[in-house]
Structure 1
């Protein structure tokens, strides 16, 4: 349940707590918290309003484990306390970026409760767009609406923070929930077929995927998190799409993941590790052969999108320590 670092991850470091009454067992992972706390902030600057919304998951590990082994709840900080603290923290500090909110709130939990050994926050922004100048924003022909908004669908900005009493906090940025499609320069050829293949080589195809990325920061200070997240997102999307006129050849989702990760690490030295997962949603041309002849339309392909079953490619790229 708790976040583990991407860079040089070592599963042996996961907590292993012996059971004092049952020496043949030991607890691996543990913790508790509050899931799915949604916080909505409305700011009024005269007639012009702005809105921000976060979804927060708060988890904790305590120094003792008597709530498990001894049925003793005296160290537990209630999940309702965690939930209410999220709202109080939002009122005191405001909602600016998921990273800032998670870093300051985990610090508060660690400093306020001496029995907390580790505080874990997952914060996602549920973004809103103002009705505005473009048709997809609720067309107002050169104007923006003062107080009307619609849900943004350009991918979710999120983060995960793990803070312990030792060392710097672990900060992982996240970007997911954006579906993209590439309709040219996406061949898939030369793969192993044997006796079980059914699709055959494709000199070109419709390549559709969801962007799912996580990256680990090597530092957490002196970073403009909003600008930084947008830069990571743009580097990933540019790697997938290429030049706006010529595009770029993508031979597999595995290759797409790797070139995007390399682009991010090369451009952003403050990131030490990045992981990208890309599903491959089939968009095969529909088979009309079993129907009466249909006069095809020039330069038109009718495809049948399918989310399952799906292929999947993923990779993690780490910056080597000098």
Structure 2
């Protein structure tokens, strides 16, 4: 008698890098995506007996990504993810759920028109789509967005014990590298319009909040995004505290009037949290 059973499982093709070039006369447009697919369903046989009759190969998944980019274009990461997820669930009876995760790599024009681009620094746009017969969930987001406030930040009044050495401060640099994801209430939205709006709300809240803690700033950022985008029901944020410590210049007979800082790489504080709209629908597998 077997002492084990098959638990939750999924498989797919990870990090397919697809670039779509669209030509508008002499002006070229680029969408540059890394796409990862994970599918699940009636997959017991392949694990237990090696029966591959229900397996849609990962190579086929990769080919589908390229074919759909050519056939349908790439309107946005969210729209492309929805297209793929619905296809995988709808085309194969053994597939019950599809998760499509996408990162977009942006490019800026070197000239106003033409075909020359430079890879844009800053954040990476992200999208995750879950789809099955019961529901569709779309989560937009960004990562690697580095921001810094050189004023209007304090940190004091915290618990102190025998191991506490951190001095309180009423004037500090507050810096972080934002990872944000926002869950849409429906699978029908203006993806291209809502992304810059969401990004703008996050930046406005970061810049406009007089911060007594990074936790307070996190909540302000999520609350501002929910207020500005009624179609979003939940925001999740991960904010590492990129510590900046004042440098002791006394050994060099110099004063440091909170002007010279050591930017520490690690270890760092890591602040995570969600801001949820009242009455938001159940997220289902959206965050898995």
- The TM-score normalised by the length of structure 2 is 0.92
Correspondent of 1:93 among 58, 61, 72: 72
Asked if 1:318 is matched to 2:276, the reply is: yes
Map 1:1-150 onto structure 2 (within 5 A): 22=2, 24-132=3-111, 144-150=112-118
How far apart, in 1, do the equivalents of 2:243 and 2:139 lie?
A: 31
How far apart, in 2, do the equivalents of 1:172 and 1:209 lie?
A: 22
Q: Which residue of 2 aligns with 1:14?
A: none
SS at match of 1:84: helix
Q: 1:264-318, CA deviations, whole angstroms, 9 ceiling, x for partnerless residues?
A: 222222111111111101111222233x324x58x78221111210011121122
User: Once the 2 structures are TM-superposed, how far is the Cα of residue 96 of structure 1 from its aligned partner?
Assistant: 1.8
Checking the alignment, whether the CA contact within 8 Å between 2:246 and 2:258 is kept in structure 1 is no
Asked if 1:170 is matched to 2:131, the reply is: no
Q: CA RMSD in A?
A: 1.8
How far apart, in 2, do the equivalents of 1:27 and 1:161 lie?
A: 25
SS at match of 1:193: coil
SS at match of 1:60: strand
How far apart, in 2, do the equivalents of 1:28 and 1:174 lie?
A: 30
Q: Which residue of 2 aligns with 1:227?
A: 193
Q: Which residue of 1 aligns with 2:206?
A: 240
Checking the alignment, whether the CA contact within 8 Å between 1:55 and 1:123 is kept in structure 2 is yes
How far apart, in 2, do the equivalents of 1:30 and 1:55 lie?
A: 22
SS at match of 2:199: helix
Number of equivalences: 280
Q: Which residue of 2 aligns with 1:186?
A: 153
- The TM-score normalised by the length of structure 1 is 0.82
SS at match of 2:160: coil
User: Once the 2 structures are TM-superposed, how far is the Cα of residue 57 of structure 1 from its aligned partner?
Assistant: 0.2
List 4+ stretches of structure 1 deviating above 6 A. Answer: none
How far apart, in 2, do the equivalents of 1:28 and 1:177 lie?
A: 34
Checking the alignment, whether the CA contact within 8 Å between 2:240 and 2:270 is kept in structure 1 is yes
Checking the alignment, whether the CA contact within 8 Å between 2:26 and 2:113 is kept in structure 1 is no
How far apart, in 2, do the equivalents of 1:215 and 1:145 lie?
A: 33
Map 1:208-287 onto structure 2 (within 5 A): 208-221=175-188, 223-242=189-208, 248-287=209-248
Correspondent of 2:263 among 285, 305, 314: 305
SS at match of 2:221: helix
User: Once the 2 structures are TM-superposed, how far is the Cα of residue 229 of structure 1 from its aligned partner?
Assistant: 1.1
Q: Structure 2, unaligned stretches of length 5 or more?
A: 281-288
SS at match of 1:35: coil
User: Once the 2 structures are TM-superposed, how far is the Cα of residue 71 of structure 1 from its aligned partner?
Assistant: 2.1
SS at match of 1:178: strand
Q: 1:96-117, CA deviations, whole angstroms, 9 ceiling, x for partnerless residues?
A: 2000000011111112111111
How far apart, in 2, do the equivalents of 1:96 and 1:201 lie?
A: 49
Q: 1:162-196, CA deviations, whole angstroms, 9 ceiling, x for partnerless residues?
A: 11122x31111111111111100110010111111
Checking the alignment, whether the CA contact within 8 Å between 1:187 and 1:205 is kept in structure 2 is yes
How far apart, in 1, do the equivalents of 2:49 and 2:196 lie?
A: 48
User: Once the 2 structures are TM-superposed, how far is the Cα of residue 30 of structure 1 from its aligned partner?
Assistant: 1.0
SS at match of 1:258: helix
Q: 1:231-252, CA deviations, whole angstroms, 9 ceiling, x for partnerless residues?
A: 111111111101xxxxx31111
User: Once the 2 structures are TM-superposed, how far is the Cα of residue 80 of structure 1 from its aligned partner?
Assistant: 0.6
Q: Structure 1, unaligned stretches of length 5 or more?
A: 1-20, 133-143, 243-247
